[in-house]
Structure 1
Amino acid sequence: MKLEQIDTPAALIDIARMQKNIARMQGHMNTLGVAFRPHVKTTKCIDVVRAQIAAGARGITVSTLKEAEAFYAAGVDDILYAVSIAPSKLPRALALRRQGCNLKLVVDNPTAAAAIAAFGDQHGASFEVWIEVDTDGHRSGITPEHESLLDVGRILHENGMTVGGVMTHAGSSYELDTAEALAALAEQERAGCVRAAQRLREAGIACPEVSVGSTPTALAAAQLEGVTEVRAGVYVLFDLVMHNIGVCSLEDIALSVLATVIGHQADKGWAILDAGWMAMSRDRGTSNQAHDFGYGQPCLLNGTPLAGYVVSGANQEHGILSSADEGSRADSQDITQRFPIGMKLRILPNHACSTGAQFPEYHAVTPDGHSVQWMRFHGW
C-alpha cells in the first residue's frame, strides 16, 4: 500500500531510518564491549524486536507483564521486567517461568524482596531478581551506598532467590542538552551501578550482571568498565525530545503520524488536520526544552520537515498546523494554497513511546514508499 492510500491518522515507521538507528546503537555497544538489551516498551512490536535481535541484541527489557507474555509467545525468552514488581503479579511471573521463560524480576525495597521470597517458598519456586539502583535521583531505586541495598540482597540470597544483578536508569538525561553533560551523567550512571554491585559482592552475594542505560547516556558513554549490559529503548525510533537533547537529527526520527488536511481557519493562519491528541498523544515533552515543537513537527509526505510550521494545538480529533513563530500568523492565502484540503502530511512526535501507544498497528514504510502492517501489543 502506498502512503497516499493509507487512511488517516496512522502511525508510520520509516524502515530505513529504523535500521540505521539500530545499527548505530548496536555498533556503539559492540565497540564498548558490552551486551545490549533493548527496552521494547517504545514499540511493543515483534517485527521491530526481531530487527534488533538480528543486529545483535541479547534479550529484551519490558515494562509490563503483558509485553513479557506476548514476546515470550513470539519466541523471545530472555526477558528483564524492569519495574519493581507488585506482589499481586507474582503468579503471572511464575507462570511465565514455568513455561520456560528466562524472566528476571526487579525490586528496589526490602518489602518487595520479602514478598518474592515468601511467594517463592510457598510455591516451591526460585526467581532471578535484579536490584534497581538509583544513580541520579530520577525516579526509583536504592542509592549505591544505602544500607537497604544489602538488606534486599540478603533477603533474596538467604531465602533461595538468585540475585541476578543490579540495574539502573539515568532518566534525568532527558533534562540535558550538551554532550559534556550527557557524558558526565553516563559516567555517573556507570560508576554508581558498578559500586552497588561491588558492595553486594563484598557482602558475599553474587551479582553477575551490571545493567545501565537510557538512550542519551548509552550513546554518550565513552567507557563502560564493570558494566555487563546496556538498555535503551527510544533510540530505535527517536523523537523530538531526543532531537532537542542532541542525540539525533530530525532526519533520524523513524516514527511519524500520517495526517490529512481537513479544513482551514484562514484568518488565524491555521490548517486543520485529522490528527489531534488522540493520535499524537498529550505528551508535550518539548515544552520545557529550548525548542518547543508543540504537538509535533509537520513534514511533507517524503519526510522533509516543513521549516517554520508546527502542530501548535490539538483537540481530541483535530490538530492545528500554524506558524512556529507565536508572534506571527501565516498568511491566509499561503496557508490554504500550501496546505490544500486532502493534502497528507507526516508529523514527527514529541515522544515516540506515547505516540506509538495511540495505535494498534504501525505501517512500516519501505524506501520505495510502499508499506506493510506491523502489529503492536497493548495492555498490562
Structure 2
Amino acid sequence: MDLNTIQTPALLLDLNKFTANCEFMKDKCSRLGVQLRPHLKTGKSINFAKAQMTSASGPATVSTLAEAEYFFAHGVNDLIYAVGISLGKFDRVLALRSAGCDVKVILDNVETAVMFSQYCDQKKVPCPVLIEIDCDGHRSGVKPDSDDLIEIARAIKGEAYFAGILTHAGDSYKCVGEQACQKAQENERDSLVRCADRLKKAGFECRIISAGSTPTAVFAKSWEGVTEVRCGVYCLFDLVMAGLGVCTKEQIALSLLVEVIGHQKEKGWVITDGGWMSMSRDRGTSAQAVDQGYGVVCDISGKIYDDLIVGSANQEHGIIVRRDGSLIDPKDFPVGTRLRILPNHACAMAAQHPQYFVVKDGKIDAIWNRIYGWQPKELSL
C-alpha cells in the first residue's frame, strides 16, 4: 500500500509535521509552567492522543461523550467534557464517573447547576463541575463581572462539587498576527484570574483554572494565575490558522489525497474525486484576507502549488482552478494524477473519515483508526 495505490479520497497525516507540532506545544506549556490539557476532538484517535498528551492517562479534553467513553476505554482517565452539560447527558456522565473515569463537566447557568446537583445526589455519585466563563463574547459562558458567577457556584452542591473555571478565547480566531493573538491571550488569562479572585472572596477555591485556544496558546508569553491550557488544532494546523499567522502552510500536517478524474478544458478546470463530502463544506478562509476556496492544492509529495485552489465542490467532485482565473492546461495534470488538498478546518476535514493514513518520509507508515459521532457505541431497540 502506498500513495499511488490507496483508494482516494484518503485522509493523510504527515507524521513528522504532526510530531513537531505536538512537541512544540508540550515544550511551550512546560516553559510557561502550565499544564497542557490537549483537546482530542480533532484527532478522535488513541494513537493521535498519545502523541498529544503528556501522559497515557491524560489530562485531556473532549467535546463529546462518545469521545470520553472511547478514550476512557483506552486508559485516558483525566478528562474535561468541554461542552455545557445538558439534562439528557446526566446519566451518561455519571456512568463514566461510576466506572472510574475522572470526567469533569462544565455549565454556565443556575438552572443546570441545580438540576445536575440534584441528579448527582439522587444517584449518589460525586462529580466535579467547572463554570464556563465568556471572556470575549464569542459563544457561551458567564461574563466575568456578572453576579451569576457566584450564584452558579452556590448552586453547585452536594455530590456535585465546584472544581474551578474554564474559558475559550474563541474571538482569537478573528485575530491576525502575533500582537493581536497575544492581546486576546492576555484578556483570556486576565478574565479567568478576575473570576478566580471573585470566587475566592466568596469562599470558593478554584482548583482548576482552564484556558484554551490554539492562537492564544501559540503566542502566549505568560499564563500566570492559570493552571492549565486546552488547545487542539495546533497539532495539525490548517489554512484558517495560517491565515491568522499562527502557522505557515508548510506546518499543516493534514491533507486529503485525491485523484484527477477529468477536465473542463474550455473552463480550465481540473476535476478530482475529492468533493465536499471528503473535504467538508468549511469555508473558514472566506472571511480572511486570502480566500483559499475549499483548500490549497499540493502535489503527491505535499509540495504546495501556490496558484491552485479547490475553487468549488460538489458531493464527490472537486474543481481545481487557478487563483487568477487563468486556464489550467490539462497536460499539466493528466487523468490519474494524484494531488493533496490542505484543509481550511482540520477538524471538519478529519470528521469525514474513519482513519488516517499516516505518512512518514513520503511512505505510508501506519493506519490510525478514528471515531466519530455522538451516540453510545452500541445501540439497539
Task: Identify the range of structure 1 (51-60 vs 199-208) with the bigger mean alpha-carbon deviation.
Answer: 51-60
1:50 aligns with 50
Task: Identify the range of structure 1 (200-209 vs 285-294) with the bigger mean alpha-carbon deviation.
Answer: 200-209
1:35 aligns with 35
2:345 aligns with 351
Distance in 2 (CA, whole Å) between partners of 1:228 and 1:190 is: 10
Distance in 1 (CA, whole Å) between partners of 2:64 and 2:258 is: 30
1:278 corresponds to which letter in structure 2? M
Cα gap change, 1:203/1:142 in structure 2, threshold over 3 Å: closer, same or farther?
same
Whether the 8 Å CA contact 1:294–1:310 is kept in 2: the answer is: yes
2:378 aligns with none
Task: Identify the range of structure 1 (122-131 vs 74-83) with the bigger mean alpha-carbon deviation.
Answer: 122-131
Task: Give the CA deviation at 1:54.
Answer: 5.1
1:78 aligns with 78
* Selected match of 2:327 from 330, 351, 360: 330
Distance in 1 (CA, whole Å) between partners of 2:360 and 2:337 is: 21
1:24 aligns with 24
2:211 aligns with 212
Task: Give the CA deviation at 1:122.
Answer: 1.0
Distance in 2 (CA, whole Å) between partners of 1:370 and 1:207 is: 46
Task: Identify the range of structure 1 (21-30 vs 361-370) with the bigger mean alpha-carbon deviation.
Answer: 361-370
Distance in 2 (CA, whole Å) between partners of 1:252 and 1:175 is: 20
Cα offsets for 1:337-358 (capped at 9, x unmatched): 1111000001001000010000
Query: Do structure 1's residue 375 and structure 2's residue 369 form an aligned pair?
Result: yes
Query: Do structure 1's residue 340 and structure 2's residue 334 form an aligned pair?
Result: yes
Cα offsets for 1:116-156 (capped at 9, x unmatched): 11101111122100110010000010011101110110111
Q: TM-score, normalised by structure 1?
A: 0.96
Secondary structure of the 1:317 match is coil
Secondary structure of the 1:268 match is coil
Secondary structure of the 1:267 match is coil
Whether the 8 Å CA contact 2:57–2:75 is kept in 1: the answer is: no
Whether the 8 Å CA contact 1:35–1:57 is kept in 2: the answer is: no
Distance in 2 (CA, whole Å) between partners of 1:278 and 1:211 is: 34
Distance in 2 (CA, whole Å) between partners of 1:58 and 1:229 is: 12
**Structure-to-structure mapping, 1:173-252, within 5 angstroms:** 173-252=172-251
1:300 aligns with 299
2:9 aligns with 9
Task: Give the CA deviation at 1:5.
Answer: 1.4
Secondary structure of the 2:53 match is helix
Task: Give the CA deviation at 1:178.
Answer: 2.0
Distance in 1 (CA, whole Å) between partners of 2:299 and 2:164 is: 46
1:131 aligns with 131
1:375 corresponds to which letter in structure 2? N
1:30 corresponds to which letter in structure 2? S
Secondary structure of the 1:275 match is coil
Distance in 2 (CA, whole Å) between partners of 1:64 and 1:248 is: 27
Task: Give the CA deviation at 1:237.
Answer: 0.5
Query: Do structure 1's residue 91 and structure 2's residue 88 form an aligned pair?
Result: no
Task: Give the CA deviation at 1:314.
Answer: 0.1
Runs of 4 or more, structure 1, over 2 Å off, are 53-58
1:269 aligns with 268
Whether the 8 Å CA contact 2:56–2:76 is kept in 1: the answer is: no
Secondary structure of the 2:209 match is strand
1:175 corresponds to which letter in structure 2? K
Distance in 2 (CA, whole Å) between partners of 1:182 and 1:54 is: 25
Unaligned runs of at least 5 residues, structure 2: 375-381
2:286 aligns with 287
Whether the 8 Å CA contact 1:38–1:57 is kept in 2: the answer is: no
Whether the 8 Å CA contact 2:354–2:371 is kept in 1: the answer is: yes
Cα offsets for 1:298-321 (capped at 9, x unmatched): 101111001211100000000000
1:199 corresponds to which letter in structure 2? R
Identical pairs, percent: 48
Cα gap change, 1:56/1:192 in structure 2, threshold over 3 Å: closer, same or farther?
farther
Secondary structure of the 2:164 match is strand
Distance in 2 (CA, whole Å) between partners of 1:276 and 1:61 is: 30
**Which has the larger helix fraction?**
1
1:62 aligns with 62
Distance in 2 (CA, whole Å) between partners of 1:144 and 1:307 is: 43
Distance in 2 (CA, whole Å) between partners of 1:226 and 1:300 is: 46
Cα offsets for 1:217-242 (capped at 9, x unmatched): 01111111100000000001000000
1:338 corresponds to which letter in structure 2? D
Task: Give the CA deviation at 1:165.
Answer: 1.0
Distance in 2 (CA, whole Å) between partners of 1:303 and 1:57 is: 34
Distance in 2 (CA, whole Å) between partners of 1:55 and 1:142 is: 32
Task: Give the CA deviation at 1:370.
Answer: 2.3
Whether the 8 Å CA contact 2:164–2:208 is kept in 1: the answer is: yes
Cα gap change, 1:367/1:55 in structure 2, threshold over 3 Å: closer, same or farther?
farther
1:312 aligns with 311
2:39 corresponds to which letter in structure 1? H
Secondary structure of the 2:20 match is helix
1:165 aligns with 164
Q: TM-score, normalised by structure 2?
A: 0.96
Cα offsets for 1:307-336 (capped at 9, x unmatched): 2111000000000001012xx3224xx2x1
